[in-house]
Amino acid sequence: MPAGASMSRRSLLKLALSTVLPASASAMTTTATTAAAAAVPSTTRAPAERLFISGARQGPDDYVAVVFDDQARRIASIPLSARAHGAASHRATQQACLFARRPGLYLHAFDRRFPEQYRTVKPVGGRHFYGHGSYSADGALMYATENDYDAQRGVLGIYDTTAGYRRLGEMETGGTGPHEVVRIPGSPMLVVANGGIHTHPDTGREKLNIDTMEPSLTVVDSRNGRLLARHVLPPEWHQVSLRHLAVDADGNVWFAGQYEGHESTVAGLAGVIHIDRSLRSFSRGRSTKGLSLVELPADLQLRTSHYLSSVAVAGEHALFTSSKGGLMFKVDRVSARLVETLSVRDCSGVSAVSPPSGQAADGDVSKDSADTLTGMASATALLTSGTGEILTLSDDGTMSLAMHRVQWDNHVYAI
């Protein structure tokens, strides 16, 4: 159990409601690293409407996190001691977090407007980060996927964002190798993709249980750690490691997997869980309804090498990338059918682009705004590639927005 988590949460919430922004901003400023503090930007910087963050490689063993705006202009660079992976943000409180790649030994927490001023949080003993996390609805708590590696148990570390990301406790994810966690908007439910693969820091990133791996998708009540739903794939596809998640407007969760076996066609690389049905059908540790798989043609599966890198939801489509296939594909949210495949070399990061409030999201002829100039007006998503390219995605296809000299890492997030 997340001992103390729910009790602490009440008092934290009170504190958060009164002092969220000043408290978090102040804590970060005072704890910024010396190097980062030297690069502190002017406090007069206008907060951008849309910011994105991605890890990147600049050279051999030279990793950074880059924050850029919706015209792909670099706003900030954060030097990293090790490769980064995912990120999370909470817009109302301006908080954001960047997670180290597994076996991760840091998370950097910062105000999204001042990314250079970050607080570094290290995992507690016997745990390492898995690379992703998610904030509570009010932003007072942050949940990070972690590995209790000696017990081979996946946990969500619970962090108090109003107290310098102090770790309050943890709760089980209901599986091994928890990778990405997302929160269902408007609810305390957290959905976790348990990749099913056991790793141990003693053996680095080596996968220790490929033959017996048991991936799952679980729904956890963040208030008390209760398991509310759990999906597993049919036994023959137990080697599809379920990794990445994205929530759609209806609160359903799309997932993307990576197959560790040797069959040429696989089921379960991509799919969606419908939360209501998953919860209702949950009995004896398993949900019997609510899981739908996307049927991917055999040739597309082969092109992807059965490896999907990321997933995002933009408008009516779920977007999946495959860096190994050098492609992204769109799936219709309603029918769960494949709509389109586009080639983008070494493409991995994908994030929805929300139009600024009050602006149309297509090529509205009445709108001669700067957005139309950049092509962002019609863009529904942003793609990043290991080539250094940042592209926009619209119904017309992809458009190159910028080419940076860094190699963009696995994920990009709107923060």
Residue 134, strand partner residues: 143
Q: How far is the CB of 93 from another protein (least distance, A)?
A: 28
In whole angstroms, give the CA distance from residue 414 to residue 401.
Answer: 16
CA–CA distance from 151 to each of 86, 155, 177, 250 (Å)?
24, 11, 11, 36
Cα angle value 233/237/241 (rounded, 5°): 80
Is residue 336 within 8 Å of residue 294, measured between CB atoms? yes
Q: Please tell me whether residue 401 binds another protein under the rule CB under 8 A.
A: yes
402 binds another protein (CB under 8 A): yes
Residue 147 CB, shortest distance to another protein, in Å, is 13
Q: Which distant-in-sequence residues (6+ apart) come within 8 Å of 70 by Cβ? A: 48, 49, 50, 51, 52, 353, 371, 374, 376, 382
Q: Which of residues 79-138 bind another protein (CB under 8 A)?
A: 85, 101-102, 131
Q: 304: part of which helix (H) or strand (E)? A: helix 298-304
Beta bridge partners of 169: 158
> Dihedral through CA 288, CA 268, CA 229, CA 314, nearest 10?
-120
Of positions 95, 309, 351, 380, contacts another protein by CB under 8 A:
309
Closest CB to another protein among residues 31, 71 = 71
Residue from 409, 412, 413, 415 touching another protein (CB under 8 A): that is: 409
**In whole angstroms, how close is the CB of 387 to another protein at the nearest point?**
5
What is the nearest approach in angstroms of another protein to the Cβ of residue 399? Answer: 5
Query: What pairs with residue 382 in β-bridges?
Result: 351, 392
Name the burial class of residue 105, with classes exposed (0-12), middle (13-18) and buried (19+) by CB atoms within 10 angstroms of its CB.
Answer: middle
Task: Based on the shown chain and the rule CB under 8 A, indicate whether residue 400 belongs to the binding site for another protein.
Answer: yes
Nearer to another protein, 250 or 395 (CB): 395
Site for another protein in 227-246 (CB under 8 A): 243
Q: Is there binding between residue 212 and another protein (CB under 8 A)?
A: no
Minimum distance of another protein from residue 338's CB (angstroms) = 15
Site for another protein in 327-346 (CB under 8 A): 342-343, 345-346
The verdict on 209 binding another protein (CB under 8 A) reads no
Look at residues 289, 341, 287, 301 and name the one whose alpha carbon lies nearest to residue 317: 341
Q: What is the DSSP letter of 233?
A: -
Does residue 374 belong to the site contacting another protein (CB under 8 A)?
yes
Candidates 120, 323, 351, 380; binder of another protein (CB under 8 A) is 323
389 binds another protein (CB under 8 A): yes
Region binding another protein by CB under 8 A among candidate stretches 26-34, 107-115, 262-270, 361-369: 361-369
* Closer by beta carbon to another protein, 243 or else 274: 243
Contacts of 65 (CB under 8 A, 6+ apart): 53, 54, 55, 56, 77, 78, 80, 84, 87, 98, 108, 115
46 interacts with another protein by CB under 8 A: no
**Going by C-beta distance under 8 Å and a sequence separation of 6 or more, which residues neighbour residue 28?**
109, 110, 111, 114, 117, 118, 119
Selected from 174, 271, 326, 355, the binder of another protein by CB under 8 A is 326
Q: Is 395 in the site for another protein (CB under 8 A)?
A: yes
Instruction: Verify binding: residue 204, another protein, rule CB under 8 A.
Output: no
When the beta carbons of 221 and 346 are compared against another protein, the nearer one is 346
Answer yes or no whether residue 276 interacts with another protein by CB under 8 A: no
We find the least distance from the C-beta atom of residue 279 to another protein, in angstroms, to be 29
CB-nearer residue toward another protein: 236 or 299: 299
Q: Sign (positive/negative) of CA torsion 360, 364, 368, 371? A: positive
Q: What is the DSSP letter of 307?
A: B
Q: How many residues bind another protein (CB under 8 A)?
A: 53
CB of 340 to another protein, least distance (A): 10
Nearest Cα neighbor of 184 from 135, 232, 144, 146 is: 135
Query: Which of 193, 347, 361, 393 touches another protein (CB under 8 A)?
Result: 347
Residues 109 and 165: beta-carbon distance below 8 Å? yes
Residue 28: helix, strand or coil by DSSP?
Answer: helix
Residue ranges in contact with another protein by CB under 8 A: 57-61, 71, 85, 101-102, 131, 179, 243, 258, 307, 309, 323-324, 326, 342-343, 345-348, 362-363, 365-366, 368, 372-375, 377-378, 385-389, 395-397, 399-403, 405, 407-410
